[in-house]
Amino acid sequence: MLVVVIAVIAVALLCGRGGPGLDLPERIVLAATHRLPPNRQSWGRALVAELAAVGGRVPRWRFAVGVLRIALFPPASKPTAVRATATVSVAATVVASVAAVRLVPTLSVFVAALGLLTSGYAIAIACRRPRVSIDRIQLAAGAMALTGVLAVIGTVIAVAVTDPAATRDRTHVFSVVLAAALCGYLVAGLSMTAMGSAGPVALGGAIAGAGVVVAATILLPTGALSVPISPIMAAATLATAIIVGVRTRSRSTAARAGLLAAILSAPIQFAVTVMAVQHGHPSALTNSYDIAAYPRSGYPDVASYLLSDALGGNIISLVITPLVMYALATVGAAAAPRRPAL
């Protein structure tokens, strides 16, 4: 159901790009060519113009898929570096997957899926070979994004080692969803650091908002955060968008800053919350649903059942948080009072 919801939202966003009268393949081509490197933008415009001469639904979709592939993996200036990156990434994925099968078998699918997804991301970066300077605030935002993803991986591995039953996933749905979500957070966190001339203000606001969420997650009791969407994160996202909107007078920059605050903080919040539940050693069923479901759940003890439930709930929250926070950030950016230009 989550995959369907995300797909519908993605289609809706694509339908909102461009202008009226465009079919979905053309919107996909427009969206994909906007992601090409600067030196490929003229090529992208040529692809958009070429699509106008393609007739028929199937050929147009085939053309759109081809453009999307080129946008993700453009022709590399140094193919040797791309091949080396692919070889190292795939080898690391194989080694990590084999190690997971032997050491933490309940996470083998998660490790393999995450390895394949991050390998694809590494190859895409190698194809693009971006040559941009990175200042300190961009480095801090990227480091925070990477730290959050690593914290989630470390937390899930710790749970699998100490309580393997809590990470058992017969259908492997949660394993794949968590791997895809973490890769998405990594890509978004590293790619959303370039925000034009208002970059330092937007990134500073996003880092500050994320810091507030992380501090609140650490200081507040775990029960105060056991909801699908964290109210602390919602407030921080809204405040970040409003403050950045006032400072920059740019709604798009403010919305991106609010969203980035959520993207930087959500994985760390996931790790802190799950660790708090794990070290709290939950042992009591507190509602009628759990009392009725536990006897036929197959878990060896109540603690494993409740910890598994906490993991599943936090994975779902990790997936839906960016969607909700982007809506809040957009509202905050629109509500920000406009400071008169000097």
Q: Is the pTM of this model over 0.85?
A: no
191-200: per-residue pLDDT in tens? 887 555 457 8
Around Cβ 58, how many Cβ atoms within 10 Å? 7
20-58: per-residue pLDDT in tens? 456 777 877 877 777 666 666 777 778 778 888 887 888
Residue 168 confidence (pLDDT): 87
DSSP state letters, 147-171: HHHHHHHHHHHHHHHH-GGGG--SS
Residue 9 confidence (pLDDT): 45
Q: What one-letter code names the amino acid at 27?
A: R
Query: Is 5 a residue whose pLDDT tops 50?
Result: no
Interatomic CA distance for residues 170 and 333, integer angstroms: 43
DSSP state letters, 306-323: HHHHHHHHHHHHHHHHHH
279-337: per-residue pLDDT in tens? 877 677 777 777 777 787 777 777 788 888 888 888 998 999 988 898 899 988 887 76
Around Cβ 273, how many Cβ atoms within 10 Å? 23
Cβ 98 vs Cβ 86: under 8 Å: no
SS3 string of 256-268? HHHHHHHHHHHHH
The dihedral through the CA atoms of 68, 74, 80, 81 has a sign that is negative
E-only strand ranges, the chain: none
Residue 306 confidence (pLDDT): 81
Pick from 22-31, 99-108, 139-148, 218-227: least confident: 218-227
